[in-house]
Amino acid sequence: MDHFLYKNGALHAEDVAIADIAAQVGTPFYCYSTATLTRHYQLFTEALSPLPHLVCFAIKSLSNLAVLKTLADLGAGMDVVSAGEYLRAKAAGVPGDKIVFSGVGKTREEMQLALTGGIRQFNVESEPEMRALSQVAHGLGLIAPITIRVNPDVDAKTHEKISTGKKGDKFGIPISRAREVYAEAASLPGLEVVGIDVHIGSQLTALEPFETAYLKVAELTHALRADGHNIRRLDLGGGLGIPYARDNSAPPLPMEYGEMVKRTVGDLGCEIEIEPGRLISGNAGIMVSSVIYVKEGEDRDFLIIDAAMNDLVRPAMYGAHHDIIPLIEAEAGAEQRAFDIVGPICESGDTFAKGRNMPPLTEGALIAFRSAGAYGAVMASEYNSRPLVPEVLVRGDHFAVIRARPTFDEMLSRDTIPEWL
């Protein structure tokens, strides 16, 4: 569920009319709902109770400091994959012992930053990384708590670009070699093995791939404990999908996911860590845009809008679907018309939808892209020298701009012309 609803025919975020935000901020912009973020985080904490657990929000899905602080104040940990994300978590008030550092390419500088700033654990992805972390930690006279990410060779049955748990993917070590790698980890100075990590992909719409992977992790837990390792945490990753289209199909609910976790690994006496991103942030955000032109083509009609692929790249990158709705609710039975909904960037890939049925719209009409909170603003760019769009956070009947739209002068000022020019 989310808190973007029509009230008296006008789309609202909680108790704020989206059109009022547009009048003040201009379009395009992203808008997030505090109530939705809160509810989705709480669904996960409730689903995993009474197991000891920590829900670590995947910052890569939505990294605005105001959003991170909203979740941190609820008790969330954070899953980071870069020095920048680590510093964002700290700036949002997240203590180091609630930050998990993931990612396949951690540099020695990032390792040092996290070790000296405080870290819950590193999710180690390879043997070279493990050896480098040992050297850095030992050189600082510190101990790096680690899990090792195992690749269970499980098909997540999701888009190939967001599948991470098959043997051909770049993530983790083969689970068949886990005991050997854990043995080396135990022999290295500066490391402390605390658990196992697994993550098989994003936008999963069924529980079976998770269950297959988690049963393999349970088996590995017993084997590693028999080898003398103190396995006390299981980081089960994230990946539970959201319903991008408002139809009758829906991914499993967090409560169903929680029951599966308890069934597969709940009897191991381990603290459970999960790293949801999309399910917390995805439906907590929309992107709002204006219609520039309604163009009649030879064999199709176009809505040309002021948002573009640089603002929301998912449709161009993944062929992703977003429901697109007008801010003024269409009358019941209103005639629908098929449009290709496109942006102003000079590429055919700058297309959000093809043949999408929409109610009558005119120049200046406002539309909203649903389920745009995850992998929206964080993946935006300034392609075509288009400034990054603002982000807005709503709470109740209030809203605040939490990232302003840069001016053209601010954007240009980041470039430097060398003196010889």
- What confidence tens digit (pLDDT) does each residue in 44-74 have? 999 999 999 999 999 999 999 999 999 999 9
**Is pLDDT larger for residue 246 or for residue 166?**
246
> To which H or E segment does residue 372 belong?
none
- Burial class of residue 239 (count of CB atoms within 10 Å of its CB; 0-12, 13-18, 19+): buried
Contacts of 414 (CB under 8 A, 6+ apart): none
- Per-residue pLDDT for 162 more than 60? no
Question: Domain locations in the chain?
Answer: 4-31+282-412, 103-274
pLDDT digits (tens, 9 = 90+) for 195-215: 999 998 878 888 999 999 999
- CA pair distance 389, 195, nearest whole angstrom: 40
Considering the entire predicted model, what is its pTM?
0.94
The class of domain 103-274 in CATH terms is alpha beta
Are the CB atoms for 279 and 242 separated by under 8 Å? Answer: yes
Q: 164: pLDDT confidence band, cut at 50, 70 and 90?
A: very low
pLDDT at 315: 96
4-31+282-412 and 103-274 have identical folds: no
Percentage of residues of the chain with pLDDT beyond 70: 95
Query: Which DSSP string corresponds to 183-204?
Result: HHHHHSTTEEEEEEE---BSSB
pLDDT level of residue 167 (50, 70, 90 thresholds): low
- Type of residue found at 47: A
More confident call, 157 vs 296: 296
Size (the chain), residues: 421
CATH number of 4-31+282-412: 2.40.37.10
The answer to whether residue 268 scores a pLDDT higher than 90 is yes
* pLDDT band at 248; cut points 50, 70, 90: low
Q: Which residues are catalytic?
A: 346
DSSP strand pairing (77-80 vs 99-101): parallel
How far are the Cα atoms of 42, 384, 406, 417, 420 from residue 412, in angstroms, in the given order?
42, 13, 10, 11, 19
With contact defined as beta carbons under 8 Å apart, do 195 and 121 qualify? yes
pLDDT value at 166 more than 50? no
pLDDT of residue 243: 82
C-alpha dist (Å) from residue 3 to 12, 13, 30, 283, 288:
8, 6, 14, 9, 15
Minimum mean pLDDT range among 3-17, 80-94, 192-206, 239-253: 239-253
Give CA–CA dist 274/198, Å, rounded.
Answer: 10
Please work out, in degrees rounded to the nearest 5, the angle formed at the alpha carbon of residue 337 by the alpha carbons of 332 and 340: 130
Segment of 16-25, 149-158, 169-178, 291-300 carrying the highest mean pLDDT: 16-25
d(CA 335, CA 135): 67
Distance of alpha carbon 107 from alpha carbon 244, whole angstroms: 35
Distance CA 135, CA 216 (A): 31
Q: How far apart are CA 407 and CA 405, in angstroms?
A: 6
- pLDDT tens digit sequence for 270-283: 999 999 999 999 99
